[in-house]
Amino acid sequence: MLKGKHVILGICGGIAAYKSVSLLRLLVKAGAEVQVVITPAGKEFITPVTLSALSQKPVVSEFFTANTGEWHSHVDLGLWADCMVIAPATASSIAKMANGVADNMLITTYLSAKSPVFVAPAMDLDMMVHPSTRRNLDLLRSYGNHIIEPESGELASGLVGKGRMEEPEKIVEVLDRFFATREDLQGQKILITAGPTHEKIDPVRFIGNYSSGKMGYAIAEAAAARGADVTLVSGPVSVQVSNPAINVIRVESAREMLSACEEAFPQSDIAIMCAAVADYAPASVATSKIKREHDEIPVITLVKNPDIAATLGHEKGKGQILVGFALETDHELENAFDKLGRKNLDMIVLNSMRDAGAGFGVDTNKVTILTSDNRRLEFSLKPKTEVANDILDTILTLK
């Protein structure tokens, strides 16, 4: 899958730079066209002559060539690449990437990259577990970067622990797997809902919930990256899509979301109901702000909102796949299985408010996927960007 791909290989100043030579050889052998970008410190560990001989390209390290003044455009490199791999990625470079400190050619190229970025950390174990490093890696994950976790073993310091850069063969496998799934949803029309709904009480107040929309948006981005034609029906959120091909329909209330879904669903192959739709709405909406100075405390009568997933489940045609979500606080599996059958879903994604790091407003999630053919798949706590692909991978097994 790497044949003909344009790969930027970023090399930082760490002892694991010697592994980058093998990684470069393997990428070229797989048919990739590789441009090496190395930090000034990286050249202390491995020479540009060696890297240039293997890549058949001049190695880029500085913003311009000193003797000719030739400018090396990080913007052009970012547009050229199908992916960028930074291996080894040192603690210093990871911190710069996470915080946008563009003081060398490698970091400016990273900040200009339009393609997926893979980061293979390598450092001593104390640096690896330091809170600042873990925070910076979490930030990179939240930006959509792919972290290739280091191995445990003997380190340059003589200590034994986690910090060894993953072996070049494994890194190539990760890239190959990534490109193998890049277009597995090509031609599929996918409808996704995300975020909360807001049900008006008066012009300034509403009934809603804490949903940030991050999970639904992550699924939309992942599906679009894998070739799908994505329509995202979004409640009020601050999240934005980065892929301009995603068709975003913004709504406010549950009834507006239902209307948008009913219009898009007949043309959809897959529908993923990730939104946290308010179950109830005020029976009537005040035309002006309800003032607290009034003697009587207002009584708000609620009515049930339409069940969007159940409505689409009733309308589902042959060959269509419908996926629901269940965020539960107790009797999680029992409630999720009930929704799976009652709403005529093909699959439901369950997460529990009991699990730390899962649920609303965070960048991670821990899910259990239940399918209509009685499978139960449990996943560990992961960034929502990775959970999105777990969900899409499972959906593909239903077809």
Catalytic residue positions?
A: 209
Q: At what angle do helices 17-29 and 48-55 cross, to 10 degrees?
A: 10
How many CA atoms, within 13 angstroms, populate the side-chain half-sphere of residue 327? 17
What does residue 309 show for φ and ψ, rounded to 5 degrees?
A: -60, -45
Cα 52 from Cα 267, distance rounded (Å):
50
Q: In angstroms, what CA-CA distances link 86 with 11, 143, 275? A: 6, 15, 35
| Structural contact between residues 192 and 183, judged by C-beta atoms closer than 8 angstroms | no
DSSP for residue 266: G
Q: State which amino acid sits at residue 361.
A: G
Strand 199-202 vs strand 205-207: parallel, antiparallel, or unpaired?
A: antiparallel
* Residue 348 three-state SS: strand
CA angle 289, 293, 295 (to 5 degrees): 110
- With residue 325 as reference, give the H or E element that holds it: strand 321-328
What does residue 23 show for φ and ψ, rounded to 5 degrees?
A: -60, -45
| Structural contact between residues 285 and 202, judged by C-beta atoms closer than 8 angstroms | yes
Please name the residue that has the structure tokens 């948006």: 217
Beta-carbon neighbour count of residue 66 at 10 Å?
Answer: 7
